[in-house]
Amino acid sequence: MTSAPHAAPVPFRTLEQAAALVRERGLRLTSPRRLVLQALFRAEGPVSAESLAGRLTLDPASVYRNLEVLEGLGLVRHVHLGHGPGLYGLLAGGEHEYLYCEHCGKVTALAPDALDPLRDQIRARFGYEARFTHFPITGACPDCARSRGGESV
């Protein structure tokens, strides 16, 4: 999960396309690697390396290493939602940005351009080019915000 330079996201949609990309880069499509890819395609949202290792009966180290190479290929990204392990998800369909409720744990994935107006405002005020792909926008979701007025964390 080390912060190494990542490849620019290459458009892909299917497991076959992802598999092809792995081979094109001269890497091998081994059984564990295919399983990880498959599991990510089936997952609802981002999942932890440990949970993948568990459900696939693979060694965690292999899962971590695979996620790392897949991330290097631009097929996978990880996000940090609150404390707890990093969560990995496919980049099929482009980058996602996230809203994360630190009270109930709810996660909302947004389309790549949903936060553009926000990004514009941040750029204008602070000059920062903000991304909410690796760390989400964190706070209270509508429900939690309602049920707890102006409380502190």
Partner DNA sequence: ATACTTGCAAATGATTTGCCAGTGT
Partner DNA sequence: ACACTGGCAAATCATTTGCAAGTAT
Footprint of its own copies (CB under 8 A): 1-3, 5-9, 74, 80, 82-83, 99, 101-102, 108, 117-118, 121-122, 125-142, 145, 151-153
**Nearest CB to DNA, comparing residues 14 and 121:** 14
Q: Which does 117 bind (CB under 5 to 8 A by kind): its own copies, DNA, none?
A: its own copies
Total Cβ atoms within 10 A of residue 96 = 22
**Nearest CB to its own copies, comparing residues 28 and 153:** 153
* Phi, psi angle pair for 93, to nearest 5°: 85, 10
Minimum distance, C-beta of residue 119 to DNA, in the bound complex (Å): 26
* Gap between the Cα atoms of 146 and 150, Å rounded: 9
Torsion of CA 69, 76, 48, 45, to 10 degrees: -160
C-beta separation of 15 from 97 below 8 A: no
C-beta separation of 63 from 52 below 8 A: yes
Q: Which does 141 bind (CB under 5 to 8 A by kind): DNA, its own copies, none?
A: its own copies
Of these, 1, 104, 111, 118, which contacts DNA (CB under 7 A)?
A: 1
Q: Find where tokens 């081994």 sit.
A: 30
Question: HSE-up of 59 (CA within 13 Å, CB side)?
Answer: 3
Q: Is 152 in the site for DNA (CB under 7 A)?
A: no
Minimum distance, C-beta of residue 26 to its own copies, in the bound complex (Å): 20
Of these, 7, 15, 39, 69, which contacts DNA (CB under 7 A)?
A: 69
**Nearest CB to DNA, comparing residues 65 and 134:** 65
